Amino acid sequence: MHTLLTSEIFILTLVTGIYLAALWLYRKTKLSILHPLLVSIPVLALFLRVFDIPFETFEAGSRMINFLLGPTVVALGYLLYEQRDHLKANGISIIISVFIGSIIGIVSVILIARWFGADHELIASLEPKSVTTPIAMSIAERTGGIPAIAAVVVIVVGIFGGIVGPFILDHLGIKSRIARGLALGSAAHGLGTARAMELGAIEGAISGLAIGLMGIITAILVPIIEMIFF
């Protein structure tokens, strides 16, 4: 029985099944608090706990899903191609906005974390909070952080941004579809982009572009800002 529970096919089926069930619940209720990831993660954690399945075994069994993170981001390039006219017309402002957003995001994390007394290892794990999981883990490892913590922080930030982001943008009176897409993609990476796609094609495409730009810019800026602060 335990061999079955730890097999790759079973784990992949389990993860996919729980997520699809959570997605159905979210679409049925329309409640932000029941976001598929918010529901799936604790359910999976409870299952692993009850059936005494080591996290290492679960991670190995779900490696295919982890691998697909990269191609999924690349697939967003098709959306960018469809909205190429908007990108050409706003290219400079998009790059400048993401660049400034990246600086503010990194510096604010460092200052707030230091104010709370966090050590460098934790700060380095928090710095890449606004980029996709694979990039964040790589940046954290390179700067002396803990990749696992970086991954968790990225997920939390993404869920929070995807849920709260549109609400904040609405109440700030930000109507520009490009600005909304940039905000969600820059601050909440893939999960923010998933939410942006629900808002519209332009928002989704610009958000997808913001993910790539934020990843590149953050990877370049983090070591430089680290040298300044540490």
The SS3 of residue 30 is coil
Its sign, for the CA torsion 81, 85, 88, 93, is negative
Share above pLDDT 90 across residues of the chain, in percent, rounded to a whole number = 18
Contact 153, 188 (CB under 8 A): no
Structure tokens at 65: 């899903």
Asked whether the predicted pLDDT for residue 103 surpasses 90, the reply is: yes
pLDDT for the residue numbered 5 = 56
Q: What is the pLDDT of residues 143-163, one digit of tens each?
A: 989 998 998 899 888 888 888
Asked whether the predicted pLDDT for residue 214 surpasses 70, the reply is: yes
pLDDT band at 221 (very low <50, low <70, confident <90, very high): very high
Give the gyration radius of the chain's Cα atoms.
Answer: 18
Please name the amino acid found at residue 185.
G
The SS3 of residue 1 is coil
CA angle 79, 82, 83 (to 5 degrees): 90
7 secondary structure, DSSP code: S
What's the CA gap between 19 and 17, in Å, rounded? 5
What's the CA gap between 184 and 178, in Å, rounded? 10
DSSP for 106-170?
HHHHHHHHHHTT--HHHHHHHTTTTS-HHHHHHHHHHTT--HHHHHHHHHHHHHHHHHHHHHHHH
Asked whether the predicted pLDDT for residue 112 surpasses 90, the reply is: yes
* Beta carbons within 10 angstroms of residue 141's beta carbon: 14
Structure tokens at 229: 């602060």
Nearest residue to 40 (alpha-carbon basis) of 64, 68, 62, 9: 62
Please name the amino acid found at residue 27.
R
Nearest residue to 192 (alpha-carbon basis) of 103, 106, 109, 132: 132
Q: What is the mean pLDDT of the chain?
A: 84
Task: Tell me the average pLDDT across 195-221.
Answer: 85
pLDDT band at 4 (very low <50, low <70, confident <90, very high): low
